Structure 1
Amino acid sequence: MEEVHYVSGDDVDPILLVELLDEHDADIVAQLNEQDLETTASILSQFPLERAVDIFDRPELSRAGDIILELPEDLAGRILKGMSADRAANMLRQLDGTDRTDLLARVDFETAQSLKLLLAYPEGTAGSIMTTEFVSVPSTYSVAETLKHIREVQHTRETVYAIYVLDPASRELRQVVSLRQLISSEPDSNILDVASDRDPIWVDPDADREEVARLISIHDLLAVPVLNSRHRVLGIVTFDDVIDAILAESTEDVQRFGGVEGMAEPYMEIGFVEMIKKRAGWLCALFLGEMLTASAMQHYSDELAKAVVLTLFIPLIMSSGGNSGSQATSLLIRALALGQLRLRDWWRVAVREIPTGLTLGTILGVIGIARISLWQYLGIFDYGEHWMLVALTVGLGLVGIVTFGSLAGSMLPFALKRLGFDPASASAPFVATLVDVTGLMIYFSVALLILRGTLL
């Protein structure tokens, strides 16, 4: 595809606009993301309204809120009104209060109230990512009437693949009928007659989006309804909404694993001050934690002076414990996120990780002993007359440290989740720092036990 270059301001080449309009929406968004705000707003202001709405509905469009603020007020209001409710709410959530209020004032009262309802739900919940644009019919409708209704409203609904059947009096959800069930049924059949006998799957508006994703995955759904306490449909969460939300959360989890606060903005769009804020806190916390490592080494300074050879293996010991802990943490965080484990399963994990840690530690310990022995026999390095005891100290130290690292790394996510924190906060650097301190204590305790009367 030939690259298109735009000029700033209102003097956008009509030929370039025509070429751009021939592109797919995703390609248009990719090119607009490379332009400055003024140029992007100028281009979109000359798009047909429906196409501009489609572009703003793409979650990949960066700085959507800033772009829409650059548009003429009337156009911005029409675009906001035409956007899917969940995407519009997500865009508004990224703006400050004044700009958000300004934009909401440009749409009609009904649209503004609908968006305010979505904005009221905490970020990361089913209510915050649901859309209020769904197809619903009373339970008195026939298949033919339902299909007719779908044809009438399909332009204003995010999806028509699931039809929500409501009680005509109470408006409570009775059943969910798929489009496939409709088109394969007799036209004069009642809508409830073609529905499944099973109760519909639904979620509470305060449910975590990861729980919504789990339900959609295990039940193979295209959408799941969000119900209030009176069993009325507030909205629906579609599978693509869940994918977008989980991708964003996965990005934040990966960042936390690296010891950085979650950042929603692309890397190049994060300001210098914001970058420092996001990274400095974790870095300082980890640095303070590592100070405990220095304190531990000071505590064993006499032993280090007597047996300097022990210091050669400190990096090996510390990294092995941190690596085993990080492995366990990664596995457990993912299992908790997918609903494969519950808080009450902590003891089952502990029983599993202890023998796992012992086995892994033994493997590393044997490798460590073999390395010391090989270097001693080949004359590469002389570990002294008590080199066999040094090798045994390193081997047993690795068994203890790797076992502790595996156990600590697996228990931290449970502890954080129990305290109400995000388990992803048990990041690899945090686990490594914890195991560094305890690893030194284990290592030197083993050394005191084995080398007492010889080197110590």
Structure 2
Amino acid sequence: MHNEDLLRPVTGADDLIAPLAELNTADAVEYLNAQDREDATAVLAALPQPRAVKILEQPELRDASALVAALPPELAAALLGQMADDRATDIFHELDAAQREALLWRLGTDARLSIQKLMRYPPHTAGALMTTEFVAVPADWTVARTLQYVREVERSRETVYAIYLLDPRTRQLEQVVTMRRLITGLPETPIMEVAQVNPPIAVDPMLDQEEVARLIRRHDLLAIPVVDAGGHVLGIVTVDDILDTLIAESTEDVQKFGGVEALDKPYMHIGFGEMIRKRAGWLSVLFLGEMLTASAMQHFEDELSKAVVLTLFIPLIMSSGGNSGSQATSLLIRSLALRELRLRDWWKVALRELPTGMVLGAILGLLAIIRIAVWQNTGLYDYGAHWKMVALTIGAALVGIVTFGSLSGSMLPFVLQRLGFDPASASAPFVATLVDVTGLVIYFSIAAAILSGTLL
């Protein structure tokens, strides 16, 4: 099927169902995303329920909660009841209270209880991400008995790549056995003999999702069990759920870093008014901050009138400081997100960024001095009789401003995290604005010290 076919407007569900038969689930999701809500809802209503469930379970399906809300209540409840509990919970979270209440009591008892349990956990925690559909067996079973059980339940479980072994009496998690170890074990072998040797890795339901992702990556897991204080398995977090969540979170962080309030929908699905609201707030704050730059220039009005040549380098000075600050901020935000650094490491970062900023500033300062000397001696521009002093001023100012930019840009994420804010809020425009204002003060202070008695 060609791309233009996917984007072709349709008039009814029958027109959509025929091409869907030729598409896999991912392509079917793309197809529905290209249709308006009315057509997409009609398609879901007309599809066989197993196919509709597979489509609704895909995180890439846009406005899944709106589509579910537009379906007849009985059908919506039937589809939700057949979905993976964690994905159904995501959809319930996006429904309003009335829609949620109307659908919840139409679900089967098991599905309703599972979804109600998952909805109690705060967003972005292991409990909110976990699914209750996992394979767990008593630790005194044999390999053959466990394999038979897996065959019986695999269609109703999100993953069977890891089987959790529970104490037969207390039901506490004792060990984990991988499917690979299970199928290579002899049938009558006790399952504990083919289980992993190391103690099982498990997490608390309130653990932050980023820490869950770190543990999954560190231990190379496909899923990680979520246990309560007594060691009982509440559910599992699978690697695909973590990837979907972290991709969404990374997108949000990138948007924040660009000085934009995080978008909760794809770019083309954001209305004009909402787009203005998302961008105007930060833009206004940054504009007010830049007004301090004008105030700083007014403060040095006399120096500017005496040495107009200094104004030629203001853009150079401001952009260099902002660039060094943005570099440091982006590096530190990523390191904090990956848990490579902790709040207590701020002084180590400061000691590292201080000489780094000085060396980077010296490199830029040397380039600026060479540029002024070349322009002066080749006749491209005349910087006046005191051009050497001007060059020295620019070079020294760049050392000071780039050093300050690197230091302040690296410390800002620590300050925000210490205050309880997302370090990603230390956006590049925000750092640039901060360095612009202070950079002018540094620039003219150095100029006053070096050029006093000559140009000033």
Give the TM interval when normalised to the shorter protein: over 0.9
Aligned mates of 1:393, 1:105 — CA distance in 2: 74
Deviation at 1:6, TM superposition (A): 5.5
CA contact (8 A) 1:202 1:226 kept: yes
Deviation at 1:429, TM superposition (A): 0.8
* Equivalent in the alignment of 2:441: 441
* Equivalent in the alignment of 1:238: 238
CA contact (8 A) 2:163 2:177 kept: yes
Aligned mates of 2:336, 2:59 — CA distance in 1: 27
Deviation at 1:288, TM superposition (A): 1.7
1:7 aligned residue (10, 13, 19)? 10
Deviation at 1:124, TM superposition (A): 1.5
* Equivalent in the alignment of 1:411: 411
* Equivalent in the alignment of 1:388: 388
Counterparts of residues 269-308 of structure 1 (less than 5 Å) = 269-308=269-308
Aligned amino acid, residue 7 of structure 1:
V
CA contact (8 A) 2:69 2:95 kept: no
* Equivalent in the alignment of 1:32: 32
Deviation at 1:446, TM superposition (A): 0.7
CA contact (8 A) 1:41 1:71 kept: yes
Deviation at 1:320, TM superposition (A): 0.4
* Equivalent in the alignment of 2:19: 19
Aligned amino acid, residue 11 of structure 2:
S
Deviation at 1:9, TM superposition (A): 4.2
CA contact (8 A) 1:8 1:38 kept: no
Aligned mates of 2:401, 2:437 — CA distance in 1: 10
What's the TM-score, normalizing by structure 2? 0.96
Aligned mates of 1:264, 1:106 — CA distance in 2: 29
| Structure 1 runs of 4+ with >3 Å offset | none
Counterparts of residues 313-352 of structure 1 (less than 5 Å) = 313-352=313-352
Task: Name the SS of the counterpart of 2:237 in structure 1.
Answer: strand
* Equivalent in the alignment of 2:191: 191
* Equivalent in the alignment of 1:402: 402
Task: Name the SS of the counterpart of 1:202 in structure 2.
Answer: coil
CA contact (8 A) 1:260 1:282 kept: yes
Deviation at 1:128, TM superposition (A): 1.5
CA contact (8 A) 2:259 2:429 kept: yes
Aligned mates of 1:148, 1:107 — CA distance in 2: 29
Aligned amino acid, residue 85 of structure 1:
D
Farther off after superposition, 249-258 or 95-104: 95-104
Task: Name the SS of the counterpart of 2:274 in structure 1.
Answer: helix
* Equivalent in the alignment of 1:46: 46
Aligned mates of 2:34, 2:376 — CA distance in 1: 60
Q: Does 1:148 align with 2:151?
A: no
Aligned amino acid, residue 228 of structure 1:
D
Aligned mates of 1:235, 1:264 — CA distance in 2: 27
CA contact (8 A) 1:248 1:264 kept: no
Aligned mates of 1:90, 1:302 — CA distance in 2: 62
Aligned mates of 2:268, 2:183 — CA distance in 1: 49
Task: Name the SS of the counterpart of 1:68 in structure 2.
Answer: helix
Aligned amino acid, residue 317 of structure 2:
I
Counterparts of residues 148-227 of structure 1 (less than 5 Å) = 148-227=148-227
Aligned amino acid, residue 8 of structure 1:
T
Aligned sequence identity (%): 61
Task: Name the SS of the counterpart of 2:221 in structure 1.
Answer: coil
Structure 2 CA distance for partners of 1:116 and 1:372, relative to 1, 3 Å: same
Deviation at 1:413, TM superposition (A): 1.1
CA contact (8 A) 1:86 1:129 kept: yes
Deviation at 1:106, TM superposition (A): 2.6
CA contact (8 A) 1:76 1:106 kept: no
State the superposition RMSD in angstroms: 1.4
Q: Deviations over 1:54-104 (max 9, x none)?
A: 000111000101111122222111110111111111122222222222232
Aligned mates of 1:228, 1:26 — CA distance in 2: 35
* Equivalent in the alignment of 1:131: 131
Aligned mates of 1:275, 1:228 — CA distance in 2: 42
* Equivalent in the alignment of 2:103: 103
* Equivalent in the alignment of 1:367: 367
Aligned amino acid, residue 430 of structure 2:
F
Task: Name the SS of the counterpart of 1:225 in structure 2.
Answer: strand
Deviation at 1:383, TM superposition (A): 1.3
Aligned amino acid, residue 364 of structure 2:
L
Task: Name the SS of the counterpart of 2:234 in structure 1.
Answer: strand
Structure 2 CA distance for partners of 1:443 and 1:6, relative to 1, 3 Å: closer
What's the TM-score, normalizing by structure 1? 0.96
Task: Name the SS of the counterpart of 2:158 in structure 1.
Answer: coil
Aligned mates of 1:232, 1:240 — CA distance in 2: 23
Q: Deviations over 1:322-375 (max 9, x none)?
A: 101111111111111112111121121111111111111111101111111111
CA contact (8 A) 1:142 1:190 kept: yes
Aligned mates of 2:393, 2:77 — CA distance in 1: 72
CA contact (8 A) 2:260 2:282 kept: yes
Task: Name the SS of the counterpart of 2:140 in structure 1.
Answer: coil
Aligned mates of 2:406, 2:100 — CA distance in 1: 47
Aligned amino acid, residue 239 of structure 1:
V
Task: Name the SS of the counterpart of 1:297 in structure 2.
Answer: helix
